[in-house]
Amino acid sequence: VPFDAARGIYSLPALLKGASDRDPGVATSPDDIAAFQYTGGTTGLPKAAVLTHRNMVANVMQVRAWVPELRDGEETILSILPFFHSYGVTLCLHLATYLGATTVLVPRFEIADVMEQIATYQPTLLPGVPTLYSAINGAVENNPARQASMRSIRYCISGGAPLPRSVQERFEEITGGHLVEGYGLSEASPVTHANPLDGRARIGTIGMPLPGTEARIVDLDTRAPVPIGERGEVAIRGPQVMKGYWRRPEDTAAVLSDDGWLYTGDIGIMDEDGFFQIVDRQKDVVITGGENIYPREIEEVLYSHPKIVEAAVIGVPHSVGGQVVKAFVVVKPGETLERRDVLQYCSERLAKFKVPRQIEFRESLPKAATGKILRRALAEEEAAKPRRRRGGDAETTGG
């Protein structure tokens, strides 16, 4: 970007050179607003989560404590996640500053560019989403010589979507490092949970709460804690939790209690060892025949298929009322897959009422800037279709 003072674009060194070193005398507090972090807008208009300096610094310190082996001044972070997203700004920008680490900026996600940056800069940390790690695995499979340049990677925390076991195991085999699943949301700066990076990770879970973070599973209606092993809403309390939504008091009151508990809208389970599993977003649950179906459960089955690289599941209106399950599938390059193959695979692993009634094959799926697959965009596409094309059992295909 060219510097142009007339357009408000300045060189940081030039600004510092002409700046005064005198104390400006401005009173500050850790509880001052640091950022308006807009939510993903999965329901309605995006809302601005008000994050304080205390929130954001606390979250960086929590992540740092979770990975005590990190070496101050010696790490290199490959920053593929965008800095306007809370995941990217915390894991790639703020953590790098806290560690005195090098951060390598990747302007856009193109797998060829990513592989080149890895080979050139030898990153030690690579925060990302499952589609990133899957793409790296595919790039190495297409060119095995690339594996030698991957051995610098030591720690990776994946978020935004379920991390398939096959992707995790293959990535760790390629790099020799650790790849674990974590969890967070914009309202919590964002990280609240992560799997241990010492070999105790449990695949299929988001791990345990970070230091200083309380988490529990509560009843969807009463918000009272439920017994271990039962499903309910994930609630979080900790120093990283937002002050509220900017100028949205009713929305704030709906998710943030007076004693600091943030109700996430995610349905989860906690086991007897304190590991949490996300079942799905409460608002993404598909209701068919009176049964609640969780898209994430079906997606995890689809991701376990050796020929499927990406998948998303939503509910679509049925012609006679209610919803049916529809799966969108991206097949690995060079592979072929038929609808009947997918149905048989799902039928062997899911209850009959959970097996997708519709399957659509695509070249790609819509994604956010972070690489997270957008179920919402798929649902909007379905809603825009004429009513006669929705529902039923007819197969749909797409390019």
pLDDT tens by residue, 40-99:
544 456 899 999 999 999 999 999 999 999 999 999 999 999 998 999 999 999 999 999
| Contacts (Cβ under 8 Å, ≥6 apart) of 349 | 301, 304
Nearest to 158 by CA among 206, 110, 119: 206
Instruction: Provide the 3-class DSSP secondary structure of residue 383.
Output: helix
**pTM of the model as a whole:** 0.80
- Local confidence band at 320 (pLDDT 50, 70, 90 cut-offs): low
CA-derived radius of gyration, the chain: 22
pLDDT tens by residue, 322-358:
789 999 999 999 999 999 999 999 999 999 999 999 9
Compute the distance between CA of residue 342 and CA of residue 359 in angstroms, rounded to an integer.
Answer: 8
Q: Which domains does the chain have, with CATH numbers?
A: 28-281 (3.40.50.12780), 285-389 (3.30.300.30)
Using an 8 Å Cβ cutoff, are 269 and 281 in contact? Answer: no
Looking at residue 10, its pLDDT comes to: 79
Looking at residue 383, its pLDDT comes to: 85
Looking at residue 162, its pLDDT comes to: 80
Q: What is the mean pLDDT of residues 245-262?
A: 96
Tokens of 342: 């997918």
Using an 8 Å Cβ cutoff, are 284 and 211 in contact? Answer: no
Q: Could you tell me which residues are beta bridge partners of residue 50?
A: 36, 244
Q: What is the mean pLDDT of residues 153-173?
A: 91
Looking at residue 42, its pLDDT comes to: 40
Looking at residue 391, its pLDDT comes to: 44
Identity of residue 135: A
Identity of residue 214: E
Tokens of 360: 């659509």
Compute the distance between CA of residue 236 and CA of residue 241 in angstroms, rounded to an integer.
Answer: 8
Q: CA 176 from chain center: how many Å?
A: 23
Q: What is the mean pLDDT of residues 287-314?
A: 89
The CA–CA distances, whole Å, from 214 to 68, 190, 208, 298, 388 equal: 20, 14, 10, 29, 48
Tokens of 175: 């790099």
Looking at residue 394, its pLDDT comes to: 44
Q: What is the mean pLDDT of residues 176-193?
A: 96
Looking at residue 40, its pLDDT comes to: 57
pLDDT at 160 over 90: no
- Local confidence band at 399 (pLDDT 50, 70, 90 cut-offs): very low
Given phi > 0 = left and psi -120 to 50 = alpha, else beta, which region is 215?
Answer: beta
pLDDT tens by residue, 108-152:
889 999 999 999 999 999 999 998 999 999 999 999 999 999 999
